[in-house]
Structure 1
Amino acid sequence: MRSRKILWAAAALCAAALAARQFNSGPATAVAAANTATVGVPVKVVSATRGDVDITLKVVAHAEAWSSVMVRARVSGQIDSLAFTPGAKIRKGDVLAQIDARPFRAQLDQTRGSVASARAQLGKAETDLQRYSAVLAKGFVSKADYDSYKANVDLARAAVQTQQAALELAQLQLDYTRIVAPFDGVVGAPLIFPGAQVAASATDIVSLNEIKPIHIVFHIPEGSLDALLELRMHGPVEITARLPDNHASLQGVLDFIDNSVDRTTGTIALKGRFDNDDAALVPGQFVEASVPTQHLKDAISVPAETLQTSDKGAFVFVVDADGKARQRFVEPGPSADGRTVITKGLAASERVVTDGQLSLTEGSVVRIAGSG
Structure 2
Amino acid sequence: MPQRIPLKKPAALLAVVVLAALAAHVWSGGGKTGADKPAAIRAVPVKVAVAQRGDLELSLKVNGYAEAYSTVTVQSRVSGQLQAIAFTPGGRVRKGEVIARIDPSLLQAQLDQARGNLARDQAQLANAKQVLRRYTPMVAKGYVAKTDYDGYKANVGVYAASVKADQAAVEMAQTQLGYAQIAAPVDSIAGAPLVYPGAQVAANSTDLVVLNQVRPIHLTFAVPESALDGIKAAGARRSLAVSVQVPGATTAPLQATLDFINNAVDSGTGTIQLKANYPNTDDRLTPGQFVQVTLPTARLHDVVSVPVTALQNSPNGSFVFVVDADGKAQQRMVNAGVSNSGRVVIEKGLAGGERVVTDGQMLLTNGTKVQVVEG
Q: TM-score, normalised by structure 1?
A: 0.85
From 325, 347, 357, the equivalent of 1:343 is 347
SS at match of 1:150: helix
Q: Match for 2:87: what amino acid?
A: F
Residue pair 2:329, 2:370 contacting (<8 A) in 1 also? no
1:201 is matched with: 204
1:332 is matched with: 336
Compute the displacement of 1:35 (Å): 6.5
Matched, 1:172 2:163: no
Compute the displacement of 1:371 (Å): 5.4
Q: CA RMSD in A?
A: 2.2
Contiguous gaps of at least 5 residues in structure 2: 1-27, 29-37
Structure 1 residues 35 and 319 mapped into 2: Cα distance closer, same or farther (>3 Å)? Answer: farther
In structure 2, distance between residues paired with 1:146 and 1:260: 72
Q: Match for 1:345: what amino acid?
A: G
Give matches, 1:1-372, under 5 Å: 39=42, 41-248=44-251, 249-321=253-325, 323-361=327-365, 363-370=366-373
Residue pair 1:41, 1:364 contacting (<8 A) in 2 also? no
Compute the displacement of 1:108 (Å): 0.6
Larger CA Rg, structure 1 vs 2? 2
Residue pair 1:46, 1:371 contacting (<8 A) in 2 also? no
In structure 2, distance between residues paired with 1:340 and 1:256: 30
Residues 44-53 or 232-241, more deviating: 44-53
Compute the displacement of 1:286 (Å): 1.1
In structure 2, distance between residues paired with 1:271 and 1:190: 29
Compute the displacement of 1:139 (Å): 2.3
Q: TM-score, normalised by structure 2?
A: 0.84
* Identity between Structure 1 and Structure 2 (%): 51
Residue pair 1:96, 1:179 contacting (<8 A) in 2 also? yes
Residue pair 2:225, 2:265 contacting (<8 A) in 1 also? yes
Contiguous gaps of at least 5 residues in structure 1: 1-23, 25-33
1:27 is matched with: none
SS at match of 2:285: coil
SS at match of 1:233: helix
In structure 2, distance between residues paired with 1:123 and 1:295: 80
Residue pair 2:121, 2:162 contacting (<8 A) in 1 also? yes
SS at match of 1:282: coil
In structure 2, distance between residues paired with 1:297 and 1:207: 49
